[in-house]
Amino acid sequence: MLDLFRNRGLSSIVMGAVIVATVLIFVIQFNPSVGKQAAKLTKTCAATVRGVCVEPKDHKAAYYLLIPQDPRTGERLVSRAKSMGLADTVLDGLVERQLLIGEAERLGLSASDEEITESIFSGFVRVSVPSDNPALAFSMNVKDGVLFDYYRTRAPVRFFRDPKTKEFDEKIYKRNLKALFDCSEIDFREWQQRELLAQKMRDLVKAPVRVSESEAMESYFAEKSQATVASVEVSPDFAIAFSEAPSDAEVEAWSKETAHAKDIETALAARKSDPAAPKDGTIRHILIKVKPSASASEKQVALETLSRAVARVAHGETFAEVAKAVSQDDGSKPQGGSVGDKTDGFVLPFKQAADALKPGEMTPAAIETQFGYHIIVRDEPSRFAKDVARELFVKQRAADWAKAASAKILAAAQAGGSLEDAVKGVVSAQKPVTILQVLRDPSIVAPPVPDAGAGDAGPVDVAPVVAPRTQLLAEADPDAPHVVTSSGFNQGSDPIPSLGAADSAKVLAFAFGSAKDGAVMSDVLRGGESYFVVALKQHKQATADEFAKDRDTYTETLLGRKQNEALAAYVKRLKDASKAEVKKDDAYLAPFHADAGVDDSQDQP
């Protein structure tokens, strides 16, 4: 046979290769594992980090481990895992783990077989979660890379110990590997070896962090000292509705001043392309929704809201800008309340009221339809420049009023009066708003008569309905300045969210400085367009004796917090430096399905 191959040379070699290939095909087709998933020629990775493959089996095992459980029954809440994006979170943790492993190996760290065995015999299961969100790790019962039982023992979960002897049990170990993680002993050891090495790197990063007693005490005082403040917000928007309407002469004189003329020119240029810019024939409305079944008090509130909006228009704001701010018709609101220049298809009361308007006119009363209360206007483009000038004048005047009013409130409070009385004295001087009458469509309060259908071209019999109150006093307006008491806060809080960082710092310094309860800050503060007057309601400083009692626990907590911050900063630098070298497979960002061992359509035990 050998001679035969020698004699045939190359052709014999080819024949031999064919025979070997035939044998291989036979073995593959008829081997005992036929029917199982065939191995892929290309390796599948849940993610690739600096050229290293993050194994799908690690992702799957960690996902199974971190699925939330019902604390009473131990049932796996797979639907909750899906809603919290657990698959994505797990993959982020594995990417972070691999980055830490790379750093550990660069520094010569390793995890020995003995260390892995000791960890397993202790019953620990290690898992990586993103370090930038300690609260998320806590919610998943993970501390320092180990799964804890926060619901019962508040200690690490001992997965592989006999409940009675508290010793490692090999049968329990093998059973739990399959039931809890769906992985083999070899796969589990490899997974835990990687986790242990990453944890060593985390511990190395955290090790240099220290907390001195003076630092702990300072932090304790800042966190445990509490205060509340009373504040008054004075908004220019409130002043517009509850002020005198400006005369044309006032507006004209103001607009001729050089600085104001430039502001008007800039505003006009900006608004020409705005959908709210006036156009010939365009009809606009402001809607305050009211259900036909609404109670009398609900209707009154809606009517007062619309009346305030009309007052703002009457006192100088453009209808379109008020509609953008107030209207509850989502379709027309972005266009400044515009519904076009055709009224066909609108309910009859609205259509008739709109059709009767001449350019520049506004309905003298609220129009009630099945949708609620409307105020309607027809554009008059020729007045656009004057209207914009009037609006800017009114806003400037309102801002000046808010600044002056807040100064009056501050002065009155500093003179010994209460904030409440100081506010009342300023607000009560404002002119009340006249509440609109209502032109009501009878069809929404009584069935229509047979010959008054939708096609009836005759006028709807609308009648003026006088509101129970004819005036809305300024102090009754929900946007009127009033005293607000904050909830308790410490030195790391933001007691008045509307203030900027600099003024918030002033409030904190005032509340936790030498001021006594009831004291008023010496300056008016500015937040957005509003002005704020602030008084110290009460405060309680933490004491050295209180710190002495809590020193050990608090210092340990503070140390843990600072270590977590150091680790998060370190990992962020790693991620930023490796951004181009991290590739995730999007297929692993979704929950596992039934064919992967978990059915995400329902909660499974």
Answer whether residue 446 shows pLDDT above 90.
no
Give the tokens for residue 108: 């010569």
To the nearest 10°, report the CA torsion of 85, 91, 95, 101: 120
Averaged pLDDT score across all residues of the chain: 83
- Residue pair 302/290 in contact (Cβ under 8 Å)? The answer is yes
Per-residue model confidence as pLDDT tens digits over 349-376? 999 999 999 999 999 999 999 999 999 9
Residue 240 DSSP label: H
- At 456 the pLDDT is 40
Q: Which residue spans within 424-485 are E strands per DSSP?
A: 433-434, 438-440, 463-465, 471-472, 483-485
Mean pLDDT of 424-441: 87
- Residue pair 578/584 in contact (Cβ under 8 Å)? The answer is no
Q: DSSP alpha helices (H): ranges in 369-470? A: 384-414, 419-427
DSSP assignment of 319-379 equals HHHHHHHH---TTTGGGTTB--S--TTS-HHHHHHHHTPPTT-B-SSEEEETTEEEEEEE-
Residue with the larger pLDDT of the pair 545 and 9? 545
> Which residues sit opposite 369 in a β-bridge?
372
**153: number of Cβ within 10 Å:** 10
% of residues, the chain, pLDDT over 70 = 84
- Residue pair 88/126 in contact (Cβ under 8 Å)? The answer is no
Residue 604 DSSP label: B
- Residue pair 437/469 in contact (Cβ under 8 Å)? The answer is no
3-state secondary structure of 417: coil
* CATH code, 237-446+458-476: 3.10.50.40
Sign of the CA dihedral with 600 first, then 601, 602, and 605 last: negative
> Which residues sit opposite 539 in a β-bridge?
227
To the nearest 10°, report the CA torsion of 65, 69, 71, 73: -110
Contacts of 255 (CB under 8 A, 6+ apart): 261, 264, 389, 392, 393
Per-residue model confidence as pLDDT tens digits over 396-412? 999 999 999 999 999 99
* Window from 85-99, 128-142, 414-428, 516-530 with minimum mean pLDDT: 128-142
What are the sequence ranges of the domains in the chain?
A: 47-210+559-596, 237-446+458-476
- Cα–Cα dist 177/186, whole Å: 10
- At 587 the pLDDT is 83
Instruction: Please state, in angstroms and as integers, the Cα–Cα distance from residue 96 to each residue in 124, 139, 170, 199, 517, following that order.
Output: 20, 19, 31, 11, 50
DSSP assignment of 100-168 equals HHHHHHHTT----HHHHHHHHHTT--B----TT-HHHHHHTTEETTEEEETTTTSEE--TTB-TTT-SB
Answer whether residue 144 shows pLDDT above 70.
yes
